[in-house]
Structure 1
Amino acid sequence: MSLLDELGRHRVVPVVVLDDADRADDLGAALVAGGLPVAEVTLRSLRAGAVLAALAARGDVLVGAGTVLTPDHVDLARDAGAGFIVSPGLSADVVRRCREVGLPVIPGVSTATEVMAARELGLDTVKFFPAEASGGAPAVKALASVFPGLGFMPTGGITEATAPAYLSLPAVTAVGGSWMVAPDLLAAGDWDEVTARCAATRRLETPLLAGGPPP
């Protein structure tokens, strides 16, 4: 199964900001128990690489690296066991390095010009970021209408309440969000609540989330 198939099957990607690798295994267990065994670990903290490695070592969570800004970040993520790369913006250098090391990459875009640049690099999926601040679901719908065949993973400010509007769009492969892995929950080690929020996310009332990705 390809990365896009995997993301399309889960439909929601928890975006994790965690600086304590000792909590990574408990986090992974909560994601699995909640039926959402996927995570984008953002490289925003000193120990993010260790967190990513600990989650990847479980073997039952699809783990990617987020906030990847440079080719060196790509190498760090690869060495830690990341299965995919997510960037907040579009960097040709990052895309090239990902291809060199065999990692799928989903770069960030927020304008038609950036989408065109991504397509010129041969990419078929982009991260629409920051989603809510850049026009939300209507903006994704508008971009999708002029770039048929392109997949979107909106991320940034999306909540459990607003996610269904994105997930109802055929061009949306998945959405990224942090409501089920909120920093306060991770800091408190409230794994029962993480599990409950993941399970609730899986029950979101949208036909696409219930039935899988569009054909």
Structure 2
Amino acid sequence: MPSELFTPSVQHALEVAGIFVFAISGALLAVRKNFDVFGMAVLAEVTALGGGVFRDLVIGAVPPIAFTDLGYFLTPLVATAIVFFLHPEVERITASVGVFDAAGLGLFCVEGTMKAHDYGLGLTSSVTLGMATAVGGGVLRDLLAHEVPSLLRWDRDLYAVPAIVGSSIVALLLHFDALTAATSALAAAVAFAVRLAAMRFGWRAPRAWNRRSTATEET
């Protein structure tokens, strides 16, 4: 079983690491939006825990682990404190948000897919929930920050696709009984790399074929 790949302490450490990097991205966006410290904490918590809470509710893992493990709740607050005192210069915040977000995307899509499969979902459903785990918190973060979620914007680099790639790799590994600690880490690294490459080279999903509208997306 995927849950047996790691010892409980290692599994917990990986999940906390994913929570931390997502929380960093949420807190950094709050700084860019000129939110106060409470707003920073809210965005950090929502970004870090939103996708996982959604996944747990869908698969019936209730109450969600975010509400039963104090470390899950406190980690975003630690990230908020770090960003509050040590946030990068304003001109570097956008790039920093993207890098931390990509790291969380890779970690969470793999962890979400594995947990969904552990709860008896098929491979396709597990991939879907793996993606939702990875992008759900970011969607909530953007909505609270009064931005159109990156997931939905045609003028933004690929966001959901890297998560789908990572989750799909996990599903294939499960299908061929080849999922190990090393291969699951590789799947997370691939998702992270695809997201960074999309940011670096401006990869975007195509819009409607023969689209005639001249409407543009607000930035």
TM-score, with normalisation over the residues of structure 1?
A: 0.29
Whichever structure has more helix as a proportion of its residues is 2
Q: Which has the larger radius of gyration?
A: 2
TM-score, with normalisation over the residues of structure 2?
A: 0.29
